[in-house]
Amino acid sequence: MTKGIYLDNNATTRVDPLVLAEMLPLFSEHFGNPSSMHGFGAAVGGKIEWARQQVQALLGAAHDSEIVFTSGGTESDNTAILSTLEAFPKKREIVTSVVEHPAVLALCDYLEKKKGYTVHRIGVDGKGNLDMDAYKAALSENVAIVSIMWANNETGTLFPVEELAVMAKDVGALFHTDAVQAVGKIPMKLADSAIDMLSLSGHKLHAPKGIGALYVKRGTRFRPMLRGGHQERSRRAGTENAPAIVGLGAAAELALHHMADENTRVRALRDKLEQALLAKVPNCFVTGNPDVRLPNTCNVAFEYIEGEAILLLLNEHGIAASSGSACTSGSLEPSHVMRAMGVPYTAAHGATRFSLSRETTEAEIDAVIAVVPGIIDRLRKLSPYWSQEGAPKAFEPTYA
Residue 2 has pLDDT above 50, yes or no: no
Query: What is the structure's pLDDT at 382?
Result: 87
Q: Mark whether 327 is an active-site residue.
A: yes
What domains lie within the chain, and their CATH numbers?
5-13+259-382 (3.90.1150.10), 17-257 (3.40.640.10)
12: burial class by Cβ within 10 Å (0-12, 13-18, 19+)?
Answer: middle
Distance CA 230, CA 242 (A): 15
Distance CA 267, CA 256 (A): 16
Contact 351, 300 (CB under 8 A): yes
Contact 54, 249 (CB under 8 A): yes
Distance CA 153, CA 325 (A): 7
Contact 59, 190 (CB under 8 A): yes
CB atoms within 10 A of CB 54: 22
Could you give the 3-state DSSP secondary structure of residue 398? coil
pLDDT tens sequence across 127-165: 999 999 999 999 999 999 999 999 999 999 999 999 999
Quote the strand ranges of 181-305, DSSP E: 197-201, 212-216, 284-286, 297-302
Contact 304, 396 (CB under 8 A): no
State residue 294 phi and psi, 5-degree precision: -65, 150
Q: How many CA atoms lie within 13 A of 346 on its CB side?
A: 15
Q: Residue 324 — very low, low, confident or very high, per pLDDT cuts 50/70/90?
A: low
pLDDT tens sequence across 14-48: 999 999 999 999 999 999 999 998 999 999 999 99
pLDDT tens sequence across 342-387: 999 889 999 999 999 999 999 999 999 999 999 999 999 988 777 6
Contact 191, 59 (CB under 8 A): no
Q: Which run of H or of E encompasses 95?
A: strand 93-97
pLDDT tens sequence across 246-288: 999 999 999 999 999 999 999 999 999 999 999 999 999 999 9
Distance CA 357, CA 266 (A): 7
Among 108, 284, 298, 327, the active-site one is 327
Distance CA 26, CA 44 (A): 8
Mean of per-residue pLDDT scores for the chain: 94
C-alpha angle 24-30-36 in degrees, rounded to nearest 5: 140
Structure letter (DSSP) for residue 328: G
* pTM for the predicted model, two decimal places: 0.95
